[in-house]
Structure 1
Amino acid sequence: MKESFFNKHYNTPKWLKDKLSRRQLLKSAAGTSALAAIPFSSLTFAQKEDVESTLNAEPWLTLNAVLNHLLPNSEQGISATDIKATYYLYQLIHQQPTATDEINFIYKGVGWLNSYSQKKTDKVFIALTPTDKEEVLRDISRSTAGDNWISMLISNLYEAMLTPPSYGGNPNGIGWKWLEHQAGFPLPEAGERYFELPQRSKQAATASKHIIPTRNTFAGKPRTQGTTKA
């Protein structure tokens, strides 16, 4: 059977059950100081252009459309754009020690979503009206895989809203201000984030057999990325 959200043989994997049940922010079983994320405001002009070029192509256009549909502009509160949810997800995939299974599921979901959207409407997701987007997302949410995929993106929205800005989302603490939340201090800066701490680096060394090479967006060189994320 062709892979899709509606594959009857799909079962929620343990790593996803753990992520969706706890919804704890910024947790990982492995990390390394080589994985330092770079806040967008600190990038050079050329680096910003590279990131923006990536985010203005697929699969990021679809992911951005889904995130902004799940948390749209409104008079009631902040939006996915306000909390830089798409950039936070980009950082999660490209800079943080995120499990390859999680990354693959995010990307596969984009393909499955667009395939279903084209089958139902003859259009890809980003070309749909807000009403049609809502209908398509409600359709896929009735499947186990679709519900998992949407729930995972909602979890990432929460993270982007609540995380310290050094992780890529929540610029200037906009999420905290909206929630009237006082964050703990001191806040982590680049070089002090959870995956850069010495204990994490030691864990990464002992788990080296689980480390795979991945592309460094800014340097164009292979780097390491953890494959285990709790």
Structure 2
Amino acid sequence: MYLHSRRILLQKGISALLLMLFSTRSIAQNFRDTDFWETLKTLQCDLYVVEHSSPTYEQLNALAYLHNVLQQHRVTQTHKRFIRNGVQWLNEAAAAHYKKPYTQLTPQQRQMVLRAIVKETWGKQWVETILTYIYEAMLCDPVYGGNGNESGWRWLHHVPGKPRPSKALV
């Protein structure tokens, strides 16, 4: 009797788990299909506010800079995973609020999602990390992939130190 009831419990538990997995499969599939880099680009555009004299988002090359950073062996796997997981969490938050990935939301909806996630510890830390990379892209030597045409330096009237690197040194 005990073995029989245990077997039934396991069968029902596995059935419930499979049902749950298959019922959420379409949402989970959307997260995988949502392009990681497109989500980061949209997020960076939402976070970087262009003033009348500041460089444009395109001039910063912030996405290319972040791509270069994530390719570096000196960046820990834990940090890379945090960036990647943050994109997934952002899309999950967007889906929870609006049933769409972040990139498919209106600018107002995206701002609401950002306001919601920064109330969470992970969200605040993740957004701060992405903002840090945007500012690094604005201020780095162009050899590292950001600060296209030295636009960030020109905007801030910054004179770089000498000698400047001729190639990326990381």
- Give TM-score scaled by structure 2 length: 0.76
Residues 53, 155 of structure 2: 8 Å contact kept: no
- % identity of equivalent residues: 33
Q: Distance in 2 between matches of 1:129 and 1:96?
A: 36
Residues 166, 190 of structure 1: 8 Å contact kept: yes
The equivalent of 2:83 in structure 1 is: 106
Q: Deviations over 1:43-102 (max 9, x none)?
A: xxxxxxxxxxxxxx7210101110111114453422332200000000001145211111
Structure with bigger gyration radius:
2
Q: Tell me how far 1:137 sits from its aligned partner.
A: 0.4
**Structure 1 gaps, min length 5:** 1-56, 196-230
The equivalent of 2:99 in structure 1 is: 122
Within 5 Å, give how 1:1-230 maps onto structure 2: 58-95=35-72, 97-190=74-167, 193=169, 195=170
Residues 92, 98 of structure 1: 8 Å contact kept: yes
Q: Distance in 1 between matches of 2:109 and 2:132?
A: 23
Q: Structure with the greater relative contact order (CA < 8 A, sep ≥ 6): 1 or 2? A: 1
Q: Distance in 2 between matches of 1:140 and 1:132?
A: 12
Runs of 4+ in 1 over 6 A off after TM superposition: none
Residues 80, 157 of structure 1: 8 Å contact kept: no
Q: Deviations over 1:102-141 (max 9, x none)?
A: 1000000000110110110111111111111111001000
- Give TM-score scaled by structure 1 length: 0.57
- Determine which structure has the larger helix proportion and give its number: 2
Q: Deviations over 1:140-184 (max 9, x none)?
A: 000100000000001101110011011110012110001111111
Q: For structure 1, which segment, 139-148 or 127-136, has the greater mean C-alpha deviation from structure 2 after superposition? A: 127-136
Letter in 2 for 1:114: N
Letter in 1 for 2:39: T
Q: For structure 1, which segment, 122-131 or 105-114, has the greater mean C-alpha deviation from structure 2 after superposition? A: 122-131
Aligned length in residues:
137
- 1:155–1:69 Cα change, 3 Å: same
Letter in 2 for 1:101: T
Residues 68, 79 of structure 1: 8 Å contact kept: no
SS at match of 2:57: coil
